[in-house]
Amino acid sequence: MNIIIVAKRILRQFVRDKRSMALMIMAPMLVLTLLWLVLDTDDRSIEIAVTDAPESVYERLASGSIEVRALPEEEAQEALNEAGIDALLRWDENRPLLILEGSDPTSHGVIQTAIQQAMGVNLRDVVNVQYWHGSEDMNMFHYTGPVLVGFFIFFFVFIVGGVSFLRERTGGTLERVLTTPIQRYELVGGYLLGFGLFTIIQSLIIVLFSIYLLDMYMVGSLWRVLFITVLLALTALSLGTLLSAYAKNEFQMFQFVPLVIVPQVFFSGLFPVEGLAGWIQAIGKFMPLTYGAEALRGIMLRDENLGELQWPVFMLLAFFLAFTLLNVKVLKRYRRL
Protein backbone atom coordinates (compact mmCIF):
# COMPACT_ATOMS: atom_id res chain seq x y z
CA MET A 1 0.00 0.00 0.00
CA ASN A 2 2.80 2.42 0.90
CA ILE A 3 4.51 1.66 -2.41
CA ILE A 4 1.37 2.67 -4.29
CA ILE A 5 1.05 5.90 -2.30
CA VAL A 6 4.65 6.86 -3.05
CA ALA A 7 4.23 5.96 -6.71
CA LYS A 8 1.09 8.12 -6.98
CA ARG A 9 2.93 11.06 -5.43
CA ILE A 10 5.78 10.73 -7.94
CA LEU A 11 3.33 10.52 -10.84
CA ARG A 12 1.51 13.63 -9.65
CA GLN A 13 4.80 15.51 -9.48
CA PHE A 14 5.61 14.53 -13.05
CA VAL A 15 2.16 15.55 -14.27
CA ARG A 16 2.58 18.96 -12.63
CA ASP A 17 6.09 19.41 -14.10
CA LYS A 18 5.18 19.76 -17.77
CA ARG A 19 8.77 20.69 -18.68
CA SER A 20 10.16 17.39 -17.37
CA MET A 21 7.51 15.39 -19.18
CA ALA A 22 8.19 17.18 -22.44
CA LEU A 23 11.96 16.82 -22.00
CA MET A 24 11.76 13.04 -21.50
CA ILE A 25 10.01 12.76 -24.85
CA MET A 26 11.42 15.60 -26.94
CA ALA A 27 15.11 15.51 -25.94
CA PRO A 28 15.77 11.91 -27.14
CA MET A 29 13.86 12.67 -30.35
CA LEU A 30 15.95 15.81 -30.91
CA VAL A 31 19.27 14.02 -30.33
CA LEU A 32 18.27 11.06 -32.53
CA THR A 33 17.20 13.47 -35.29
CA LEU A 34 20.55 15.24 -35.14
CA LEU A 35 22.36 11.88 -35.26
CA TRP A 36 20.30 10.95 -38.31
CA LEU A 37 21.06 14.25 -40.06
CA VAL A 38 24.80 14.10 -39.38
CA LEU A 39 25.55 10.39 -39.65
CA ASP A 40 23.05 9.13 -42.24
CA THR A 41 25.29 9.82 -45.21
CA ASP A 42 27.83 7.84 -47.18
CA ASP A 43 29.46 10.96 -48.57
CA ARG A 44 32.97 11.80 -47.43
CA SER A 45 34.02 14.83 -49.43
CA ILE A 46 37.71 14.45 -50.28
CA GLU A 47 39.20 17.10 -52.53
CA ILE A 48 42.72 17.22 -53.96
CA ALA A 49 44.49 19.59 -56.30
CA VAL A 50 46.75 18.34 -59.11
CA THR A 51 49.37 20.45 -60.84
CA ASP A 52 51.18 19.84 -64.13
CA ALA A 53 49.81 16.34 -64.64
CA PRO A 54 48.93 14.69 -67.96
CA GLU A 55 45.25 14.54 -68.88
CA SER A 56 45.21 10.79 -68.35
CA VAL A 57 46.21 11.24 -64.69
CA TYR A 58 43.33 13.67 -64.10
CA GLU A 59 40.89 11.24 -65.70
CA ARG A 60 42.06 8.25 -63.66
CA LEU A 61 41.90 10.20 -60.39
CA ALA A 62 38.54 11.79 -61.16
CA SER A 63 37.03 8.36 -61.85
CA GLY A 64 37.63 7.39 -58.20
CA SER A 65 36.08 8.52 -54.93
CA ILE A 66 37.78 11.91 -54.71
CA GLU A 67 37.16 15.29 -56.28
CA VAL A 68 40.05 16.54 -58.40
CA ARG A 69 40.84 20.17 -59.16
CA ALA A 70 43.45 21.49 -61.55
CA LEU A 71 45.13 24.45 -59.81
CA PRO A 72 48.31 26.46 -60.20
CA GLU A 73 50.79 25.42 -57.54
CA GLU A 74 50.73 28.76 -55.70
CA GLU A 75 46.94 28.71 -55.46
CA ALA A 76 46.98 25.08 -54.39
CA GLN A 77 49.48 25.80 -51.60
CA GLU A 78 47.30 28.65 -50.38
CA ALA A 79 44.32 26.28 -50.32
CA LEU A 80 46.39 23.76 -48.37
CA ASN A 81 47.38 26.40 -45.86
CA GLU A 82 43.73 27.30 -45.29
CA ALA A 83 42.63 23.62 -45.23
CA GLY A 84 40.55 24.31 -48.33
CA ILE A 85 41.74 21.08 -49.98
CA ASP A 86 42.84 17.77 -48.52
CA ALA A 87 45.97 17.23 -50.62
CA LEU A 88 48.12 18.47 -53.47
CA LEU A 89 49.59 16.12 -56.07
CA ARG A 90 52.52 17.81 -57.82
CA TRP A 91 53.20 15.78 -60.92
CA ASP A 92 56.70 14.73 -61.93
CA GLU A 93 57.49 11.92 -64.34
CA ASN A 94 60.34 10.66 -62.17
CA ARG A 95 58.75 10.90 -58.70
CA PRO A 96 55.47 12.77 -58.10
CA LEU A 97 55.04 14.63 -54.79
CA LEU A 98 51.88 14.16 -52.72
CA ILE A 99 51.42 16.84 -50.03
CA LEU A 100 48.68 15.94 -47.55
CA GLU A 101 46.98 18.80 -45.72
CA GLY A 102 47.59 16.70 -42.64
CA SER A 103 45.31 18.05 -39.92
CA ASP A 104 42.60 15.43 -40.56
CA PRO A 105 44.09 11.92 -40.30
CA THR A 106 40.79 10.32 -41.34
CA SER A 107 41.35 11.46 -44.94
CA HIS A 108 44.97 10.31 -45.31
CA GLY A 109 44.22 6.67 -46.03
CA VAL A 110 41.35 7.49 -48.41
CA ILE A 111 43.54 9.84 -50.47
CA GLN A 112 46.53 7.51 -50.66
CA THR A 113 44.37 4.52 -51.53
CA ALA A 114 42.56 6.44 -54.28
CA ILE A 115 45.82 7.64 -55.85
CA GLN A 116 47.35 4.19 -55.56
CA GLN A 117 44.38 2.60 -57.32
CA ALA A 118 44.38 5.28 -60.04
CA MET A 119 48.10 4.81 -60.75
CA GLY A 120 48.02 1.04 -60.34
CA VAL A 121 51.24 0.88 -58.31
CA ASN A 122 52.39 0.87 -54.72
CA LEU A 123 52.15 4.52 -53.66
CA ARG A 124 55.27 4.58 -51.53
CA ASP A 125 57.37 3.17 -54.35
CA VAL A 126 56.65 5.96 -56.83
CA VAL A 127 55.30 8.95 -54.88
CA ASN A 128 57.04 11.11 -52.29
CA VAL A 129 54.51 11.77 -49.48
CA GLN A 130 54.82 14.88 -47.31
CA TYR A 131 52.59 16.69 -44.81
CA TRP A 132 51.69 20.39 -44.99
CA HIS A 133 50.27 20.36 -41.44
CA GLY A 134 50.53 17.65 -38.85
CA SER A 135 52.53 14.49 -39.37
CA GLU A 136 52.23 10.82 -40.17
CA ASP A 137 51.96 10.07 -36.44
CA MET A 138 48.75 12.06 -35.96
CA ASN A 139 45.75 10.04 -34.81
CA MET A 140 42.09 10.67 -34.05
CA PHE A 141 42.82 11.95 -30.55
CA HIS A 142 45.09 14.64 -31.94
CA TYR A 143 42.43 15.61 -34.50
CA THR A 144 39.48 15.68 -32.08
CA GLY A 145 41.49 16.94 -29.09
CA PRO A 146 41.01 20.68 -29.75
CA VAL A 147 37.26 20.15 -30.13
CA LEU A 148 37.11 18.15 -26.90
CA VAL A 149 39.02 20.86 -25.02
CA GLY A 150 36.54 23.46 -26.21
CA PHE A 151 33.54 21.25 -25.47
CA PHE A 152 34.48 20.37 -21.89
CA ILE A 153 35.32 23.96 -21.04
CA PHE A 154 32.02 25.14 -22.55
CA PHE A 155 29.99 22.38 -20.86
CA PHE A 156 31.31 22.72 -17.32
CA VAL A 157 31.36 26.52 -17.32
CA PHE A 158 27.75 26.51 -18.58
CA ILE A 159 26.67 24.17 -15.79
CA VAL A 160 28.69 25.71 -12.94
CA GLY A 161 27.86 29.29 -13.92
CA GLY A 162 24.18 28.60 -14.49
CA VAL A 163 23.69 26.64 -11.26
CA SER A 164 25.63 29.19 -9.21
CA PHE A 165 23.54 32.08 -10.55
CA LEU A 166 20.39 30.02 -9.95
CA ARG A 167 21.38 29.54 -6.30
CA GLU A 168 21.94 33.28 -5.98
CA ARG A 169 18.39 33.82 -7.17
CA THR A 170 16.58 31.01 -5.34
CA GLY A 171 18.49 31.75 -2.12
CA GLY A 172 17.27 35.34 -2.13
CA THR A 173 20.70 36.87 -2.58
CA LEU A 174 19.81 38.36 -5.96
CA GLU A 175 16.66 40.00 -4.64
CA ARG A 176 18.52 41.54 -1.71
CA VAL A 177 21.22 42.90 -4.01
CA LEU A 178 18.56 44.37 -6.28
CA THR A 179 17.16 46.40 -3.39
CA THR A 180 20.36 48.44 -3.45
CA PRO A 181 21.00 51.25 -5.97
CA ILE A 182 23.15 48.94 -8.11
CA GLN A 183 22.41 49.05 -11.84
CA ARG A 184 21.50 45.89 -13.74
CA TYR A 185 24.52 46.10 -16.04
CA GLU A 186 26.79 46.50 -13.00
CA LEU A 187 25.31 43.38 -11.43
CA VAL A 188 25.71 41.31 -14.60
CA GLY A 189 29.22 42.66 -15.13
CA GLY A 190 30.19 41.81 -11.57
CA TYR A 191 28.92 38.24 -11.86
CA LEU A 192 30.66 37.73 -15.20
CA LEU A 193 33.90 39.19 -13.87
CA GLY A 194 33.84 37.07 -10.72
CA PHE A 195 33.01 33.83 -12.50
CA GLY A 196 35.24 34.90 -15.40
CA LEU A 197 38.34 34.84 -13.21
CA PHE A 198 37.48 31.26 -12.33
CA THR A 199 37.07 30.36 -16.00
CA ILE A 200 40.53 31.72 -16.78
CA ILE A 201 42.07 29.43 -14.17
CA GLN A 202 39.99 26.50 -15.37
CA SER A 203 40.94 27.08 -19.01
CA LEU A 204 44.63 27.33 -18.12
CA ILE A 205 44.60 24.06 -16.18
CA ILE A 206 42.68 22.13 -18.85
CA VAL A 207 44.86 23.40 -21.70
CA LEU A 208 48.14 22.72 -19.88
CA PHE A 209 46.95 19.26 -18.82
CA SER A 210 45.87 18.35 -22.37
CA ILE A 211 49.03 19.58 -24.08
CA TYR A 212 51.77 18.66 -21.63
CA LEU A 213 50.38 15.58 -19.85
CA LEU A 214 48.17 14.02 -22.53
CA ASP A 215 50.61 15.07 -25.28
CA MET A 216 47.87 16.56 -27.44
CA TYR A 217 49.21 17.76 -30.79
CA MET A 218 50.08 21.45 -30.63
CA VAL A 219 51.98 23.63 -33.11
CA GLY A 220 50.42 27.03 -32.38
CA SER A 221 50.87 29.55 -29.60
CA LEU A 222 49.70 28.60 -26.11
CA TRP A 223 48.53 32.18 -25.52
CA ARG A 224 46.30 32.07 -28.58
CA VAL A 225 44.75 28.82 -27.34
CA LEU A 226 44.14 30.37 -23.92
CA PHE A 227 42.57 33.43 -25.49
CA ILE A 228 40.07 31.33 -27.45
CA THR A 229 39.25 29.05 -24.50
CA VAL A 230 38.66 32.01 -22.19
CA LEU A 231 36.45 33.68 -24.80
CA LEU A 232 34.55 30.41 -25.28
CA ALA A 233 34.19 30.02 -21.50
CA LEU A 234 32.84 33.55 -21.11
CA THR A 235 30.30 32.83 -23.84
CA ALA A 236 29.22 29.66 -22.02
CA LEU A 237 29.06 31.58 -18.73
CA SER A 238 26.84 34.32 -20.14
CA LEU A 239 24.58 31.71 -21.77
CA GLY A 240 24.37 29.67 -18.58
CA THR A 241 23.43 32.66 -16.41
CA LEU A 242 20.87 33.72 -19.01
CA LEU A 243 19.10 30.36 -19.12
CA SER A 244 19.24 29.99 -15.32
CA ALA A 245 16.68 32.81 -15.14
CA TYR A 246 14.17 30.39 -16.68
CA ALA A 247 14.87 27.52 -14.27
CA LYS A 248 13.15 27.08 -10.91
CA ASN A 249 15.65 24.56 -9.53
CA GLU A 250 18.92 22.82 -10.37
CA PHE A 251 17.14 19.89 -12.00
CA GLN A 252 15.50 22.23 -14.48
CA MET A 253 18.89 23.85 -15.15
CA PHE A 254 20.29 20.46 -16.15
CA GLN A 255 17.34 20.02 -18.49
CA PHE A 256 18.89 22.61 -20.78
CA VAL A 257 21.90 20.34 -21.43
CA PRO A 258 20.29 18.05 -24.06
CA LEU A 259 18.61 21.06 -25.65
CA VAL A 260 21.50 23.54 -25.67
CA ILE A 261 24.78 21.63 -25.23
CA VAL A 262 24.29 18.25 -26.94
CA PRO A 263 23.20 19.67 -30.35
CA GLN A 264 26.39 21.74 -30.49
CA VAL A 265 28.51 18.57 -30.28
CA PHE A 266 27.26 17.37 -33.67
CA PHE A 267 28.34 20.54 -35.44
CA SER A 268 31.54 21.31 -33.56
CA GLY A 269 33.84 19.20 -35.75
CA LEU A 270 33.66 15.82 -34.04
CA PHE A 271 31.58 14.57 -36.97
CA PRO A 272 32.24 15.44 -40.64
CA VAL A 273 29.52 17.70 -42.03
CA GLU A 274 31.19 18.87 -45.25
CA GLY A 275 29.29 16.39 -47.39
CA LEU A 276 25.88 17.21 -45.89
CA ALA A 277 23.21 19.46 -47.34
CA GLY A 278 23.81 23.18 -46.99
CA TRP A 279 20.82 23.75 -44.71
CA ILE A 280 22.12 21.11 -42.30
CA GLN A 281 25.57 22.71 -42.19
CA ALA A 282 23.91 26.09 -41.60
CA ILE A 283 22.55 24.85 -38.26
CA GLY A 284 26.08 24.90 -36.83
CA LYS A 285 26.46 28.60 -37.72
CA PHE A 286 24.11 29.45 -34.84
CA MET A 287 26.17 27.59 -32.22
CA PRO A 288 29.09 29.16 -30.30
CA LEU A 289 30.96 25.87 -29.91
CA THR A 290 31.27 25.60 -33.71
CA TYR A 291 33.40 28.74 -33.83
CA GLY A 292 35.38 27.91 -30.69
CA ALA A 293 36.28 24.45 -31.99
CA GLU A 294 37.17 25.85 -35.41
CA ALA A 295 39.53 28.39 -33.87
CA LEU A 296 41.16 25.88 -31.49
CA ARG A 297 41.71 23.37 -34.27
CA GLY A 298 43.18 26.07 -36.50
CA ILE A 299 45.65 27.17 -33.82
CA MET A 300 46.64 23.76 -32.45
CA LEU A 301 46.82 21.83 -35.73
CA ARG A 302 47.67 24.48 -38.33
CA ASP A 303 49.38 27.26 -36.35
CA GLU A 304 46.87 29.86 -37.52
CA ASN A 305 47.10 33.31 -35.96
CA LEU A 306 44.22 35.43 -34.71
CA GLY A 307 44.27 37.44 -37.94
CA GLU A 308 43.40 34.27 -39.86
CA LEU A 309 40.67 33.48 -37.32
CA GLN A 310 38.92 36.84 -37.38
CA TRP A 311 35.50 35.39 -38.17
CA PRO A 312 35.39 32.76 -35.36
CA VAL A 313 36.71 35.32 -32.86
CA PHE A 314 34.17 37.90 -34.01
CA MET A 315 31.30 35.42 -33.72
CA LEU A 316 32.33 34.35 -30.21
CA LEU A 317 32.47 38.00 -29.16
CA ALA A 318 29.07 38.59 -30.77
CA PHE A 319 27.53 35.64 -28.91
CA PHE A 320 29.08 36.79 -25.62
CA LEU A 321 27.84 40.38 -26.00
CA ALA A 322 24.37 39.25 -27.11
CA PHE A 323 23.98 36.88 -24.14
CA THR A 324 25.29 39.55 -21.76
CA LEU A 325 22.81 42.16 -23.01
CA LEU A 326 19.99 39.63 -22.69
CA ASN A 327 21.11 38.96 -19.11
CA VAL A 328 20.72 42.65 -18.32
CA LYS A 329 17.28 42.69 -19.89
CA VAL A 330 16.12 39.55 -18.08
CA LEU A 331 16.89 41.15 -14.71
CA LYS A 332 13.87 43.38 -15.31
CA ARG A 333 11.86 40.41 -14.15
CA TYR A 334 13.21 40.98 -10.64
CA ARG A 335 13.45 44.74 -10.51
CA ARG A 336 12.49 47.59 -12.84
CA LEU A 337 14.99 50.43 -12.85
pLDDT 10s digits, 224-244: 999 999 999 999 989 988 888
Q: Where are the domains of the chain?
A: 47-131, 140-333
* Predicted local confidence at residue 337, as pLDDT: 43
**Who wins on pLDDT, 29 or 262?**
262
- Mean pLDDT (the chain, rounded): 79
Instruction: For residues 193-206, give the mean pLDDT.
Output: 81
Any idea which of 48-52, 203-207, 239-243 has the lowest mean pLDDT? Answer: 48-52
Task: Give the span between the Cα atoms of 119 and 300, in whole angstroms.
Answer: 34
Instruction: For residues 215-220, give the mean pLDDT.
Output: 86
* Predicted local confidence at residue 263, as pLDDT: 85
- Per-residue pLDDT of 87-139, as tens digits, reads 888 877 677 788 888 887 877 777 777 777 766 656 566 677 888 887 777 77
Task: Please determine, for residue 43, whether its predicted confidence score (pLDDT) is greater than 60.
Answer: no
> Model confidence at 330, in pLDDT bands (50, 70, 90)?
confident
CATH classification number, 47-131, choose in 3.40.50.300, 3.40.50.2000, 3.40.1710.10, 3.40.47.10: 3.40.1710.10
